[in-house]
Amino acid sequence: MSNTSRRRWPLLLPPLLWQLTFFLLPLLFLFVISFWSVVNFRLEPDMTLKNWDFMLSRSSFWSAYGHTWSLALGAAVVTTCCSFPAACSLAFTVSERTRKLALMFLVVPFFTSYLVRVYSWQAFLADNGIVNALLAVVGIDGLPMLNSDFGSLVGYVTLALPLVTLVQTMGLAQIDRNLIEAAHNLRAGPVRTLFEVIIPLAKPSLVVGALFAFILAFGDFVAPTYLGGGAPPTLSNLIIDTTKSGQQWPRAAVVAIVMILTLVLTSIAAVRLAYGRRK
């Protein structure tokens, strides 16, 4: 017993100390500085609630909060719905080989910078951009897409779609085919099979995929800035503005803590939904 414990310390300590010192402490430190004050553009240790009061009493903060929340929720719903047919198709109707190849392609975006992809979307969505040029061919007048919530959503979906499709495909591929065939034999139509067999069985992967999309969208600042136009701001925009222009790190820390709390609560709710109360 003491032998294995002696053996594990040399392996356990380095990563543990690293993540404690450079991951956990910085996050806890955020909490600490949210009670500090800024004097002459310098951070001074303090024990004040005025940063919390300043942020939480502003309606602009709460409207940014609502905006971020609804954008992230929209991103989760849109991404989940968009990727589900593709995931079904990949999980049920193609060979193992094709599926592996498709999953490989889903990994490709990882090797391109998200920034570059967002910049590229600007060319698609601009008023005189590619999409509007194509629409003009079929006689549809220019649609404003850039610098709107729609633009932000395109960015979020770009960010999350590959991952969500992967998660869903892997979840769906694990479903026991016999259950689907049993439903078929019992004369359930395709729609009924989908809603009463496939979706309940795939629920964990659907919810986890949606949660990933929510988390990614909730924290992203690139899409709302460069595709959404930055107004109204999201919470991450707020953090950046507060940090970069005003040196008001304590106030930004308040926003960060509210964000973390929101994400933790959302994750707990999602995990409950995914794994709890299964019939």
Partner 1 sequence: MMLKIGRWFGWAYTGYTFLFILAPIAASLVFSFNADRFPSLPLKGFTTDWYGGTFTDPLVIEAFQRSVMVSVPVALLSTILGFCAAYCDFRFDFRGKSLFSLLMLLPPTIPAVIMGLGMLSYLSRIGLAGEVWAVLISHVVIALPFAMAMIRLRLAQMDSALEEASWNLRASPAQTLWHVVLPFCKQSLVAAFLITAAVSFDEFAVAWFVSGLNETVPVRVLVFLQGQVSPVINAIGTAVFTSSILLVAIGMAFSGMGKAKRAAADTPAQPVGGALVTNNGLSL
* Contact positions with partner 1 (CB under 8 A) in 257-276: 259-260, 263
Q: For the chain, what is the largest distance between any 2 Cα atoms, rounded to a whole number of angstroms? A: 78
Stretch 168-197 residues interacting with partner 1 (CB under 8 A): 170, 190
d(CA 218, CA 203): 22
Per the listing, tokens 């993540």 go with 19
- Pick from 205, 195, 210, 212: nearest CA to 173: 205
d(CA 176, CA 83): 21
Phi and psi torsions of 128, nearest 5°: -110, 35
d(CA 168, CA 170): 5
Smallest distance, partner 1 to C-beta of residue 279, A = 27
Query: Residue 43: helix, strand or coil by DSSP?
Result: strand
Tell me if 226 contacts partner 1 by CB under 8 A. Answer: yes
Q: What number of H helices and E strands is found in the chain?
A: 14, 2
Smallest distance, partner 1 to C-beta of residue 95, A = 12
Q: Which helix (H) or strand (E) holds 37?
A: strand 37-39
Which residue from 63, 77, 119, 196 is in contact with partner 1, where contact means CB under 8 A?
Answer: 119
Write each residue from 195 to 214 as x if it is in contact with partner 1 (CB under 8 A), else as -, in one continuous string.
-----------------x--
Tell me if 121 contacts partner 1 by CB under 8 A. Answer: yes
Which residue from 40, 128, 178, 185 is in contact with partner 1, where contact means CB under 8 A?
Answer: 128
Tell me if 252 contacts partner 1 by CB under 8 A. Answer: yes
CA distances from 26 to 33, 198, 212 (A): 10, 43, 23
Phi and psi torsions of 37, nearest 5°: -125, 165
Stretch 4-43 residues interacting with partner 1 (CB under 8 A): 4-5, 7-8, 11-12, 14-16, 18-20, 22-27, 29-30, 33, 43
Which residue from 221, 229, 232, 271 is in contact with partner 1, where contact means CB under 8 A?
Answer: 221
Smallest distance, partner 1 to C-beta of residue 220, A = 8
Smallest distance, partner 1 to C-beta of residue 135, A = 12
Smallest distance, partner 1 to C-beta of residue 120, A = 4
Tell me if 54 contacts partner 1 by CB under 8 A. Answer: no
Stretch 66-85 residues interacting with partner 1 (CB under 8 A): 82-83, 85
The residue count for binding partner 1 (CB under 8 A) is 91
* CB burial of residue 248 (10 Å; 0-12, 13-18, 19+): buried
Tell me if 2 contacts partner 1 by CB under 8 A. Answer: no
Running DSSP on this structure, what letter comes out for residue 111?
A: G
Smallest distance, partner 1 to C-beta of residue 110, A = 4
The residue among 83 and 201 lying less far from partner 1, judged by its C-beta, is 83
d(CA 50, CA 250): 10
Which residue from 35, 56, 89, 135 is in contact with partner 1, where contact means CB under 8 A?
Answer: 89
The residue among 1 and 279 lying less far from partner 1, judged by its C-beta, is 1
CA atoms within 13 A on the CB side of 181: 4
